[in-house]
Structure 1
Amino acid sequence: MMNALKRKLKSDLFFNIIIYAMGLLIVLLVLIPLLFVVAASFSDPDLVIKGKVLLLPKGITLKAYTMVFENEDIWRGFLNSCFYTVSGTFISVVLTIIAAYPLSRRKLPGRNLFMMAILFTMYFSGGMVPTYLLVRDLGMYNTIWALLIPSAISTYNLIVAKTFFENSIPEELYESATLDGCGNIQMLLRIVIPLSKAIIAVLILYYAVGIWNAYFDALIYLKDDNKYPLQIILRNILLLGQTEQMGTNDVGMAEKIKMSEAIKYSAIVVSSIPMLIVYPFVQKYFVKGVMIGAIKG
């Protein structure tokens, strides 16, 4: 008995060591690039280009941040991204809840058929060219709606929300509300949404991060520079720096290359701040919402 217990303790210890080692490795893989970006944003661009900056800044300077905050394109892109993120997240969360609620009701006729059709879109899509033609024919090309409507609902988020509603809200509660004369819309507004703060917080975080980091839709559907989100502006800065590095001995051009490198890192830091501000407010709901919404899917 004691030997079996010792073997079990040893196996549990070995398993915990492996888990912690893997967790530490993942943390390092994520943390080291982040530390490098932050360090490079405060460092002398010449030292960054020469590869002398690793995890700590060298030749500390705020010139790159000064240039970022003085750059009108970056400010315009930042404000555009804030608008797209706030409005897009609102639209996506509302539509996801409206779709997930009826699908979570077991009495919905043809529920399994609807779910099969929705799951099909998770693995197969119409393709980039047909989607582009559809957006153009609907009159959304070069408008903000091209970024907000076509990708408004994520199939994965819809399934998570549906599973949360199924597992967290008892069917007896619906029956009691029905006996009291409560309709489906009243149930959604007065019962489901107040009891679903955890999953709503998760949906807000998922959609906000996705919209904030998105750039491909803007690259395809927008041609007006004034509507570009921040990610497109950063992409253009990166491409400009790479183009200028393709061979020149001009001193002025070399200085531009250094500053474009510095601006690149500082702009990445600035663009990450909004998500870092939002996350602490939804973090307490995050694990609960994901765990409850992921089981029995």
Structure 2
Amino acid sequence: MENVEEVKVRPRTINSRSSDRILEIVMYGIAGVLLILLIYPIYFIIIASFSDPAAVANGQVWLFPKGFTLAGYQELLKHENIWIGYRNTILYTVIGTAISLVVNLSAAYALSRRDLFGRKTISLFFIFTMFFNGGLIPTFLTIRDFHMYDTFLVMVLPFSVAVYNIIVARTFFQNSIPDDLWEAAQLDGCGNLRYYVQIVLPLSKAIISVIALWTAVGHWNSYFNALIYLKDADLYPLQLILRNILIMNQMQSAMGTGEAAAVALRLANIMRYSVIIVATVPIMCIYPFVQKYFNQGVMIGAVKQ
């Protein structure tokens, strides 16, 4: 009887393992295709920035650069205000991210405390602002009346509150920081501020890293606020300066005639790819340092309720 049972069970085990293997191969194949679809556009921009614009326009660039050239980068780096833009963008990103972390994490921790009076009402006020706001003109008038128009502060202070980040961080604090820690800290004479700084924040590296990355990328890529609220070119961030350079080169190619117009058009075309590389590579270098915290922070902060 035992031999008969073994004969009956073994084929099922083999079939089960075979189907699991087939499913695994299919899933890896789908994941590989998606990976290629996501990575190839970035790879194409890189090789196109080193290729002859004519080859790119004719569709001859697929896997490797054609007509290797550094003309796009050379023309781009001739503009000295790029370095001013880099300096401003780094300052806006570092200082703006620090301010946003202080504001959003503090608000999230306060809303996560069950002993906060009116916690639900305050949360509703925050959530209301996610769907309704005064609009561009009232915001502009408010910034002007607070004397922040065309100043450094307008890029780091007025838009530092992100309600979505507050909600994610609040959920993380509620589900990851046990109430017993607060009770134990109170027995040792620990106050709210000390408990938040010395106990809560060190235990929240995952969510801090995620929100810091989101905020830093937002500040690095921001150009609309600078376009609206800045008029001093010395305060322009990198994105706005690169935008102005592209517009200027396109206007020169449109206004030129003959061979000069053709050369200007080729430079304008290749500089589009060079601008993307110059603008994105620095912020992409930060991701590997926070990647290990990213999934953990997002899942704990956004999924659990």
Q: Structure 1-normalised TM-score?
A: 0.90
Compare 232-241 and 39-48 and name the one that shifted more.
Answer: 232-241
Q: What is the CA-CA distance between 1:16 and the residue it aligns to?
A: 6.2
Separation in 1 of the partners of 2:118 and 2:130? 19
Letter in structure 1 aligned against 2:180: E
Q: How large is the Cα RMSD of the aligned pairs?
A: 2.5
Equivalent of 2:181 in 154, 173, 176: 173
Compare 29-38 and 219-228 and name the one that shifted more.
Answer: 29-38
The 1:10/1:142 distance shift into structure 2, 3 A limit, reads farther
Equivalent of 1:184 in 189, 192, 195: 192
State whether structure 2 residue 66 is matched by structure 1 residue 63: no
Structure 2 match to 1:152: 160
Please tell me whether the aligned partners of residues 253 and 265 of structure 2 are also in contact (alpha carbons under 8 angstroms): yes
Separation in 1 of the partners of 2:59 and 2:249? 16
State whether structure 2 residue 132 is matched by structure 1 residue 134: no
Unaligned runs of 5+ in 1: none
Letter in structure 2 aligned against 1:250: G
Equivalent of 1:112 in 105, 120, 125: 120
Letter in structure 1 aligned against 2:261: M
Separation in 1 of the partners of 2:69 and 2:304? 52
Structure 2 match to 1:218: 226
Separation in 1 of the partners of 2:40 and 2:50? 16
Structure 1 match to 2:55: 47
Please tell me whether the aligned partners of residues 171 and 301 of structure 2 are also in contact (alpha carbons under 8 angstroms): yes
SS of the counterpart of 1:203?
A: helix
Structure 1 match to 2:248: 240
Letter in structure 2 aligned against 1:211: H
Structure 2 match to 1:76: 84
Q: What is the CA-CA distance between 1:239 and the residue it aligns to?
A: 2.6
Radius of gyration: which is bigger?
A: 2
Alignment of 1:87-126 (within 5 A): 87-126=95-134
Letter in structure 1 aligned against 2:123: M
Compare 233-242 and 185-194 and name the one that shifted more.
Answer: 233-242
Separation in 2 of the partners of 1:22 and 1:120? 40
Separation in 2 of the partners of 1:219 and 1:24? 40
Q: Report how many residues are paired.
A: 297
Separation in 2 of the partners of 1:144 and 1:189? 28
Separation in 2 of the partners of 1:134 and 1:10? 66
The 1:25/1:238 distance shift into structure 2, 3 A limit, reads farther
Letter in structure 2 aligned against 1:187: Y
Compare 206-215 and 122-131 and name the one that shifted more.
Answer: 122-131
Separation in 1 of the partners of 2:244 and 2:58? 23
Separation in 1 of the partners of 2:195 and 2:271? 51
CA deviations on 1:91-136 (whole Å, 9 max, x unpaired) are 1111111111111111111111111111111122211111111111
Unaligned runs of 5+ in 2: 1-7
Separation in 1 of the partners of 2:293 and 2:163? 21
Letter in structure 2 aligned against 1:190: Q
SS of the counterpart of 1:293?
A: helix
Structure 2 match to 1:256: 264
Separation in 1 of the partners of 2:16 and 2:119? 46
Letter in structure 2 aligned against 1:83: L
Q: What is the CA-CA distance between 1:38 and the residue it aligns to?
A: 0.3
Q: What is the CA-CA distance between 1:87 and the residue it aligns to?
A: 0.8
Please tell me whether the aligned partners of residues 237 and 264 of structure 1 are also in contact (alpha carbons under 8 angstroms): no
Separation in 1 of the partners of 2:68 and 2:88? 31
Structure 2 match to 1:202: 210
Q: Structure 2-normalised TM-score?
A: 0.88
The 1:210/1:13 distance shift into structure 2, 3 A limit, reads farther
Equivalent of 2:238 in 227, 230, 237: 230
